[in-house]
Amino acid sequence: MNDEEFKKLLIEYDHPDHLIKMAKTKWQKAVAIEFVNQDKKMSGIEKDVNWVKRLTMSIFAVVVIAAVAQYVGPLFQTIFG
């Protein structure tokens, strides 16, 4: 396998650990290892982003509920009070 074929596999292949086993030259092995490292970092970042999204949505929901409660309380007092 030459370097051009390896580059195509790097773009198309979705399982990065298998690339290390397929690499034959030092350059291919170095690229495959870096690709695996970057893939692991990206999956960690994705988990962090999902956590931040959930936290943001929770805070938004609490703020909306508090704003509605603040508006509805005095409204009921004026109508029924």
Tens digits of residue pLDDT in 13-51: 666 667 777 788 888 888 888 888 888 888 888 888 999
Tens digits of residue pLDDT in 64-76: 999 998 988 888 8
Separation of alpha carbons 38 and 16, rounded Å: 10
Domain ranges of the chain: 3-80
* pTM for the model: 0.51
Cβ pair 28, 3 in contact under 8 A:
yes
